[in-house]
Structure 1
Amino acid sequence: MIDKQTFLNQFKEQYIGETSSLTLESEFRKIDSWDSLTGMSILVMIKDEYDIDMSADALKACITIGDVYDFVEKNVADA
């Protein structure tokens, strides 16, 4: 099982600027510093930290940070 707070902290590190108010319920594309480069950084973080190849389409299907966490958690469990 992946620690939710650890995942959230790793997710926050992919953004430039203030992220202290982010929670698992936050819609990550609505964050001011969101751009395609941030999306790529998130995918690389997931690969590096959890050895999961999350596709760009899978990331597009996620709305909240919690949705991304759920994807990673499910795929870690399946590995």
Structure 2
Amino acid sequence: MSVNEFIRNFQLELENPDTPIGLETEYNKESYWDSLTAMAVNVMIEDNYGLDIDPEQITSFKNINELYSFIIENKK
């Protein structure tokens, strides 16, 4: 899956899927980010990449690029 596909899948987990997101978006500092969104993103990552990341760990990444890079490096 390309980074653009990942970004789109990430957006689809948000309350407003038209929220602008890019590689440098610090999603965990945005008003839309909460524990339920972290869980939804976790499920998306499990479904698309076969990787189970703790929602707290998802929140710990600086931006979309760091999260995506971690997933690509660790996917099954």
Following TM superposition, by how much is the alpha carbon of 1:31 offset from its aligned partner in structure 2, in angstroms? 2.2
Larger Rg: 1
Runs of 4+ residues over 3 Å off in structure 1: none
- What TM-score do the two structures reach when normalised by structure 1? 0.83
Partner residue in 2 for 1:16: 15
Aligned residues: 75
* Identity level (%): 31
Gaps of 5+ in 2: none
> Can you give the 5+ residue segments of structure 1 that lack an aligned partner in the other structure?
none
TM-score by length of 2: 0.86
Q: Please give the alpha-carbon distance, in whole angstroms, between the structure 2 residues aligned to 1:48 and 1:61.
A: 21
How far off is 1:33 after superposition?
1.5
